[in-house]
A = this chain, B = another copy of it.
């Protein structure tokens, strides 16, 4: 039974990898930077994207794919925050996005109009780590109310991410969360993590995040122009 399950899971993953490679090819040939945003439920991914839209909508051509288990709440919020290209994915119970869902969502996006694509995954620190969506990199968000041991408890996600956003820094001091320990734990799992510390409430640290995004797009353009 377990063997049978593993065999099918391998097949599902290899089919996913095939579709993800195709997405990656399409996005790369158009010079689009793509980020797969992962986190626990409630870490503040959507708030962060709302702020990002507010700050960068006039500077970058942004598209967003917002995955949710059951509602379009996140997609609605991103539209209201000024998102020009926003596509919801309702997984209907599934605990992660997969490349097939993203392929479908991309069919409804004019990629000529996009410089950077954010894919907001389902809130889940486990399953999304196994599914390549064809993105350039995963960005994991954790909030200061979640406990500083999360990188140790969910190592796969932190290992497979290129950047870590520690969000809700305005709540530091209201819990036992130790920022330095959190960063140490994260680096012990993945020393190459790009680290950001942000508060969507006070705006603290957001500028650094925005600058990083702008640099990603600029560097991609420069590389493609070579």
A175 within 8 A of B: yes
Of B5, B95, B147, B201, which is within 8 A of A126 by CB? B95
Interface SS of chain A: loop
Contact partner of A174 among B126, B127, B142, B170, CB < 8 A? B170
Whether the Cβ atoms of A125 and B126 lie closer than 8 Å is: no
Q: Chain A, 61-72, contact with B by CB distance < 8 Å: what is the 0/1 string?
A: 000000011110
CB distance from A149 to the nearest CB of B (A): 6
Chain A: interface residue total (CB-CB under 8 A): 42
Question: Which residues of A come within 8 Å of B, CB atoms?
Answer: 1, 4-5, 8, 11-12, 15, 40-42, 68-71, 73, 93-95, 122-127, 142-143, 145-147, 149-150, 152-156, 168, 170-171, 174-175, 201
